[in-house]
Structure 1
């Protein structure tokens, strides 16, 4: 009987630990402090020159990146043709192409085909014309 209780207790603890591991709280990138502050061209060059080292350094990290807007859509911005930033909400109409922008976001990977670093959950830190 004692053996069954011990096994049942271990099973319950395992289920609770597994549930907490699978259903972790989501990160709020906007509230996190950036681990790296870098320009769009610099991070783009690091990924294109040494992908493995750059991924080990930046992947899933919160960064602040600055650059000039080369492409803009309602929820997406590309900085210096090197960094693609995806926003959760629509961008303000005042943000224009070729203006300088500083963005905070999470690095989710590198697109070899387009040679762009991908960021998600982006927020605008400041804008300069």
Structure 2
């Protein structure tokens, strides 16, 4: 009887250890990851508009670099060609301006059909 309780206790401890490590794993550092693709904003936007399922399979939750013209600029986010919304963890380290061509690396978190925007988070400016 004691042996069953000991085996049960060990199983619970091992299971708890793996569950804790799964839940509290380190977050991805997108700025250190290599992008899977480098695309123009018009190309990725048209793919999301034509076939959202294929676009999500290809880009969703992946690190990509998109290139376009800044159409809107705030402290910690920007919009490229009114087609992609990029959020940054911190304020910009480089000086940016509206109508400037930039390349931004970030994680694609999907397409917002209500706002008609592709959304990226954890972005960094690759080229000013």
Check whether TM > 0.5. Answer: yes
Structure 1 residue 100 corresponds to structure 2 residue 112 = no
Distance in 2 of aligned mates of 1:78 and 1:108: 15
State the partner residue of 2:81: 80
Distance in 2 of aligned mates of 1:81 and 1:50: 19
Give TM-score scaled by structure 2 length: 0.94
State the partner residue of 1:52: 53
Structure 1 residue 71 corresponds to structure 2 residue 54 = no
Gaps spanning 5+ residues in structure 2: where? Answer: none
**Shift in Å, 1:72:** 1.0
Distance in 1 of aligned mates of 2:119 and 2:25: 23
Q: Which runs of 4+ in 1 moved over 3 A?
A: none
Distance in 1 of aligned mates of 2:83 and 2:11: 50
Structure 1 residue 6 corresponds to structure 2 residue 30 = no
Q: SS at 1:55's partner residue?
A: helix
Give TM-score scaled by structure 1 length: 0.94
Contact persistence 1:44–1:115 (CA under 8 A): no
Q: SS at 1:67's partner residue?
A: strand
**Shift in Å, 1:93:** 6.9
**Shift in Å, 1:44:** 0.9
- What does residue range 22-61 of structure 1 map to in structure 2 within 5 Å? 22-61=23-62
Distance in 2 of aligned mates of 1:122 and 1:98: 19
